[in-house]
């Protein structure tokens, strides 16, 4: 039996799901949070957040309590095992990615590096 590709996982915290639903209500019907990873930032890779209504062929959709996050396959390789959370603290309110693949992150948490 051939080895199958590892399952690429990503999850949403309860707080993230609630916030995505609130923000999606302010957008058009069918809005999802798109999470992406691109080169850049002070640590090598940076997270991107945007709203989208389209799911492309190379996208995966993750859902919790009706809130949906869409991630392209390339970004998902760098996000496998991660969880998105929504944090409210003295610094403000923001989405935060808890990425087990990240070796280091910048102080603001929007960029990270991994060992290749």
pLDDT tens digits along 6-53: 456 999 999 999 999 999 989 888 899 999 998 876 667 888 999 999
Q: Please write the tens of the pLDDT for every residue from 71-104.
A: 999 999 999 999 999 999 887 899 999 988 887 6
CA dist 55 and 34 (Å) reads 9
* DSSP 8-state code for residue 7: P
pTM score, two decimals? 0.82
Burial string for 20-51 (b: 16+ CB within 10 Å, else e) reads bbeebeeeeeebbbbbbbeeebebbbbbeeee
Structural domains in the chain, CATH included, are 10-113 (2.60.300.12)
CA distance 80 to 94: 21
């Amino acid at each position: 039996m051939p080895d199958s590709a590892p399952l690429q996982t990503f999850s949403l915290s309860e707080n993230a799901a609630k916030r995505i639903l609130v923000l999606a209500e302010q957008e058009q019907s069918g809005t999802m949070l798109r999470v992406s990873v691109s080169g850049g930032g002070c640590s090598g890779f940076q997270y991107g957040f945007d709203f989208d209504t389209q799911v492309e062929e190379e996208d995966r959709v993750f859902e919790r309590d009706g809130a949906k996050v869409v991630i392209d396959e390339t970004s998902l390789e760098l996000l496998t095992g991660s969880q998105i959370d929504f944090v409210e603290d003295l610094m403000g309110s923001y989405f935060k990615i808890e990425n087990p693949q990240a070796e280091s992150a910048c102080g603001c948490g929007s960029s990270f590096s991994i060992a290749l």
